[in-house]
Copies of this chain bind each other. A is one copy, B any other.
Amino acid sequence: MHFNHISPAKTRAQKEHRANHILESALVLFVEKGFSATRLEDVARHAGISKGTLYLYFENKEALFKRLVEEMVVPLVQNAEHEVNAYQGPCNNLLQQLILGWWKMIGKTSLSGLPKLLISESGNFPDLAEYYVKNVVARVRRLLTTVIQRGIAAGEFIECDAEGVARVILSAVVFPVVLQHSLGIYDTAFENDRYQRAHMELILNGMVTKR
């Protein structure tokens, strides 16, 4: 009774933690089966709680999904932006660093399922899709475009359609992660490093033999 103020603090942290745990479980299952085909009972079981407990943390199934997207990616985008702003040095290094960062922060973590999930569900959640495009997709693309423009200005890169190139590069970076959570499972394995190496070499030097 005397130190009651401790309990709510502890509870608050626990509550936060529990909510994150549920979000992780939801992410895994939503990515695997899609939003509609995922039963809340499965999410609960996966999180080790009961069906009813879910509703102590999230208003309903849709709210659970929205929190998933809104709370898990934006911080990472901000990180990348800071990194680019602070960077001094050759742009191809920066480019490579960003791509590696993508794999480290997203591609190899549980977040890697999010792009696939958003692609799958955008038709049913237009608001969320718009939010994601605005706060993630567009920002990342702008970032990459900036880097390329900086490289052109520095004479490091040839004069090219910076945004077009940024889009091409992003496709080649994001798509494998999307496949990883979908058709990739049924395909022959292909080493990630090898893919990344081929990608970097291709975009830096092209494939045509120089005369």
Contact = CB atoms under 8 A, between A and B. Distances in A.
B198 A167 contact: yes
Given A123-B34, A124-B37, A201-B160, A130 B207 contact: no
A82 to B, nearest CB: 24
A197 B186 CA distance: 32
A168 interface: yes
Interface residues of A, number: 68
Number of chain copies forming the complex: 4
Contacts of A84: none
A70 B134 CA distance: 36
A83 to B, nearest CB: 20
A103 to B, nearest CB: 14
Interface string A159-188: 011011101100110111011011101111
A153 interface: no
Interface string A122-157: 111010011011100110000000001001000111
A190 B208 contact: no
Contact of A199 (B34, B168, B199): B168
A175 B161 CA distance: 19
A-B complex: 4 closest residue pairs judged by Cβ atoms: A164-B198, A206-B206, A36-B36, A120-B120
